[in-house]
Structure 1
Amino acid sequence: MTAVAGSTLVRFLTTDDVGPLMELERQKWTDEQATSAGELVRRIEAYPDLCVGAFCRSTAVGSLVRLEA
């Protein structure tokens, strides 16, 4: 699934996204709230159809959309 609306790209996450997602975790969450890289990989691999990201095409800034099973 990939959708483009204006400058926003919405797509399923892959394990290649973990590095940038960890940067987002560190910026937006406290140490107690943030998840680990290993846990992100586990979630993406376990629920590939439920892990979605929204990315600004001009700045490459992303947002994780967590869909819980």
Structure 2
Amino acid sequence: MSDWQNRALERMYQIVFLDALRVKIRDVESRQVKNKAFHVALGVTPKGEREVLCLWIANNEGAKF
């Protein structure tokens, strides 16, 4: 996993898709099942190849700017 996290990214992506999927995850400390947002960033290279750029879990789908 650390190899994937530390890999070099392309210099340019033609398109970057961002999406989130609502999933139920059991909290380790409280043992309660909670709804979380599983986010993915997907990039499309100039050659048309797709790459998963980033994955993360957050409390919701919203963004703070």
Give the TM bin, normalised by the shorter chain: 0.3 to 0.5
Structure holding more strand per residue: 2
Q: TM-score, normalised to structure 1's length?
A: 0.33
Q: TM-score, normalised to structure 2's length?
A: 0.35
Structure holding more helix per residue: 1
